[in-house]
Amino acid sequence: MSTPACPMCEMTEVLSHADHYECVTCGHEWPLEVESDVPAGDRIVKDAYGNVLADGDIVAMIKDLKLKGSSEVLKVGTKSKPIRLVDGDHEISCKMDGIAIGLKACFVKKVPA
Protein backbone atom coordinates (compact mmCIF):
# COMPACT_ATOMS: atom_id res chain seq x y z
CA MET A 1 0.00 0.00 0.00
CA SER A 2 1.42 3.38 -0.94
CA THR A 3 1.43 6.35 1.43
CA PRO A 4 -1.27 8.96 0.76
CA ALA A 5 -0.73 12.58 -0.23
CA CYS A 6 -0.85 15.21 2.52
CA PRO A 7 -4.43 16.47 3.02
CA MET A 8 -3.18 20.03 3.69
CA CYS A 9 -0.60 20.71 0.96
CA GLU A 10 -1.25 17.65 -1.27
CA MET A 11 2.47 16.83 -1.52
CA THR A 12 3.50 13.17 -1.68
CA GLU A 13 6.60 13.34 0.53
CA VAL A 14 5.01 11.65 3.55
CA LEU A 15 6.61 9.78 6.47
CA SER A 16 4.74 6.82 7.92
CA HIS A 17 4.99 6.44 11.73
CA ALA A 18 3.50 3.69 13.93
CA ASP A 19 0.24 5.55 14.54
CA HIS A 20 0.21 8.51 12.14
CA TYR A 21 1.50 10.04 8.90
CA GLU A 22 3.65 13.18 8.78
CA CYS A 23 4.18 15.47 5.78
CA VAL A 24 7.83 16.33 5.19
CA THR A 25 6.91 19.53 3.34
CA CYS A 26 4.44 21.26 5.70
CA GLY A 27 4.76 19.20 8.91
CA HIS A 28 1.04 18.30 9.04
CA GLU A 29 0.27 15.08 10.94
CA TRP A 30 -2.84 12.89 10.63
CA PRO A 31 -3.85 9.43 11.89
CA LEU A 32 -3.15 6.29 9.87
CA GLU A 33 -6.82 5.42 9.55
CA VAL A 34 -9.19 8.33 9.21
CA GLU A 35 -12.62 7.50 10.59
CA SER A 36 -15.14 9.33 8.52
CA ASP A 37 -18.91 9.55 8.60
CA VAL A 38 -18.85 11.06 5.08
CA PRO A 39 -19.40 8.58 2.22
CA ALA A 40 -16.33 7.79 0.13
CA GLY A 41 -15.89 10.09 -2.85
CA ASP A 42 -17.29 13.21 -1.19
CA ARG A 43 -14.66 15.93 -1.02
CA ILE A 44 -13.95 17.51 2.35
CA VAL A 45 -12.54 21.04 2.29
CA LYS A 46 -10.97 22.37 5.49
CA ASP A 47 -9.82 25.88 6.32
CA ALA A 48 -6.36 26.74 7.66
CA TYR A 49 -7.39 25.71 11.18
CA GLY A 50 -8.99 22.38 10.23
CA ASN A 51 -12.64 23.50 10.30
CA VAL A 52 -14.78 21.79 7.65
CA LEU A 53 -16.18 24.25 5.10
CA ALA A 54 -19.52 23.94 3.33
CA ASP A 55 -21.41 25.89 0.67
CA GLY A 56 -22.82 29.09 2.16
CA ASP A 57 -20.18 29.52 4.88
CA ILE A 58 -18.47 32.88 5.33
CA VAL A 59 -14.68 32.97 5.51
CA ALA A 60 -12.04 35.58 6.37
CA MET A 61 -8.48 35.96 5.10
CA ILE A 62 -5.67 34.90 7.48
CA LYS A 63 -2.89 36.67 5.55
CA ASP A 64 -2.50 39.41 2.97
CA LEU A 65 -2.74 38.09 -0.59
CA LYS A 66 -1.84 40.05 -3.70
CA LEU A 67 -4.30 39.42 -6.52
CA LYS A 68 -2.62 38.21 -9.71
CA GLY A 69 -2.94 40.59 -12.62
CA SER A 70 -3.87 43.47 -10.35
CA SER A 71 -2.28 45.88 -7.92
CA GLU A 72 -4.96 45.12 -5.31
CA VAL A 73 -4.31 43.22 -2.08
CA LEU A 74 -6.81 41.26 0.01
CA LYS A 75 -5.99 42.24 3.58
CA VAL A 76 -6.04 40.05 6.70
CA GLY A 77 -9.57 39.82 8.11
CA THR A 78 -11.36 40.60 4.84
CA LYS A 79 -14.66 38.68 4.95
CA SER A 80 -16.34 37.02 2.00
CA LYS A 81 -19.91 36.75 0.85
CA PRO A 82 -21.26 33.17 1.22
CA ILE A 83 -18.83 30.77 -0.47
CA ARG A 84 -19.31 28.01 -3.00
CA LEU A 85 -17.03 24.95 -2.99
CA VAL A 86 -15.69 24.00 -6.41
CA ASP A 87 -13.41 21.33 -7.87
CA GLY A 88 -10.02 22.25 -9.22
CA ASP A 89 -6.90 24.02 -8.05
CA HIS A 90 -8.79 26.57 -5.95
CA GLU A 91 -11.39 25.01 -3.64
CA ILE A 92 -13.43 28.15 -2.91
CA SER A 93 -15.31 30.50 -5.22
CA CYS A 94 -16.59 33.69 -3.59
CA LYS A 95 -16.76 37.47 -3.66
CA MET A 96 -14.53 39.68 -1.51
CA ASP A 97 -14.61 43.46 -1.72
CA GLY A 98 -16.91 43.16 -4.75
CA ILE A 99 -14.44 41.00 -6.71
CA ALA A 100 -15.28 37.41 -7.72
CA ILE A 101 -12.23 35.26 -6.88
CA GLY A 102 -11.10 31.68 -6.40
CA LEU A 103 -9.21 30.89 -3.19
CA LYS A 104 -7.31 28.01 -1.70
CA ALA A 105 -8.76 26.93 1.62
CA CYS A 106 -5.36 27.20 3.36
CA PHE A 107 -5.55 31.03 3.22
CA VAL A 108 -8.91 31.44 4.96
CA LYS A 109 -10.63 30.70 8.26
CA LYS A 110 -14.30 29.98 8.84
CA VAL A 111 -16.20 32.87 10.45
CA PRO A 112 -18.66 31.74 13.13
CA ALA A 113 -22.28 32.43 12.19
Residues 67, 14, single domain; the answer is no
Q: Can you give the residue range of the structural domain that contains 78? A: 45-110
CA distance 56 to 73: 24
- The pTM score is 0.61
Question: pLDDT tier at 77 (50, 70, 90 boundaries)?
Answer: very high
CA distance 19 to 32: 6
Question: What is the count of structural domains for the chain?
Answer: 2
Residue 79 falls inside a structural domain: yes
Q: How many Cβ atoms sit within 10 Å of the Cβ of residue 69?
A: 6
Residues 58, 19, single domain; the answer is no
- Per-residue pLDDT tens over the stretch 79-102: 999 999 998 888 999 999 888 999
Residue 88 falls inside a structural domain: yes
